[in-house]
Amino acid sequence: MSIPLRTIALVSFYSSLKMNTKNSNPKAFISYSWDDDSHKEWVAKLATDLRNDGVETILDQWHTVPGDQLPAFMEREIRENDYVIIICTSNYKLKSDQRKGGVGYEGDIMTAEVHTQGNHRKFIPVLAQGTWEQSAPSWLKGKYYVDLSNPDRRNTNYSDLRATIFGTRTGAPPVGSAPKRSMHKPLAASQDEPVKIVGVIVDEVTEPRMDGTPGSALYKVPFRLNRTPSSIWSEIFILTWNRPPKFTTMHRPRIARISGAKIILDGTTIDEVKKYHRETLILCVDEANKEEAKILEHRRKEEEQRREKSEAHRRSVEDEASNLNFD
């Protein structure tokens, strides 16, 4: 049985190799200020690391040439990419707050998108120099940022940035006591059974803020699974939810996460689930089941081949050794 390219790529991903799956790589645009040559090199190094790790990273140093319309480039990349990584320095803060140059223009576009669409998580601040107070534009104050300013903590915090982009951050551990009331009782299932959605966990549905801010009418809706899925299944589900093979115009990528035996949609409504997300959830669960099965089968065959080679080698050694005579 031939292994599809997407399955082979997923196997490589879970073996800590580079992920090269078509149509599964998140896209990110880097917004920064040209402080000096050293800072430009720092930004290019970050962009290179992200591309090596499977993020299709857009950087003006690579993607623009003399004669390009820079305002059109900036506006297009901010609107079309999955994420915008904002490199914060004191100079970036100054230009953004005073709306100067390209940084100021980008700031206008980003703040407008946040206010009109409420997609705060699309914009990821990264501290490159100094303190957060010195480097954060006023519209980013209070946001959770990634600190890459300290070389000693760079690898750990970079991993946090990468996990955020891929939607693979570690969720909260499962709650010890079962909910008092749910639409369906969880079913006992072995690890060999396909993962299925059992129903909505009614007691854990949160309430909307309803404070008039964008997105304040949305809330968390958790779904009980028949068993706790593997980390491989969880990764595939998140990747598929963020870029499903088919979806409605009301699909909301980047709101799904796995926590124990639960899928949590953080930023939707029960009505949206009923009208739009139900079919996509079923599709993503089925896709994760199929891809996980392919990966496990691929691994099983590889292990079987390794074992057969080892046994053949052992038999060959035994045969040759039996013919050796030291008399």
pTM tops 0.85, yes or no: no
Q: Flag whether pLDDT at 235 surpasses 80.
A: yes
What percentage of the chain's residues is helix, strand, coil (to nearest 5)? 50, 15, 40
Alpha carbon 166 to its chain centroid, in Å, reads 2
> What ranges in the chain are assigned the alpha helix state H?
5-14, 37-52, 60-63, 70-80, 90-97, 101-117, 132-135, 154-166, 231-242, 270-272, 278-322
What lies within 8 Å, CB to CB, of 89 at 6+ separation is 32, 33, 35, 39, 128, 129, 130, 135
Q: Flag whether pLDDT at 206 surpasses 80.
A: yes
Domains in the chain with CATH codes = 5-166 (3.40.50.10140), 197-302 (no CATH)
Q: 48-52, 167-171, 226-230: which has the minimum mean pLDDT?
A: 167-171
pLDDT digits (tens, 9 = 90+) for 136-190: 898 888 888 999 989 888 888 998 899 888 888 877 787 777 665 545 554 455 6
Q: Is 16 exposed, middle or buried (0-12, 13-18, 19+ CB in 10 A)?
A: exposed
Select from 137, 163, 131, 165 the least CA-distant residue to 149: 131
56-58 and 83-88 beta bridge pairing: unpaired
Q: Which residue has better confidence, 261 or 104?
A: 261
pLDDT digits (tens, 9 = 90+) for 282-304: 999 999 999 999 999 998 898 88
pLDDT of residue 106: 86
Select from 115, 166, 120 the least CA-distant residue to 145: 120
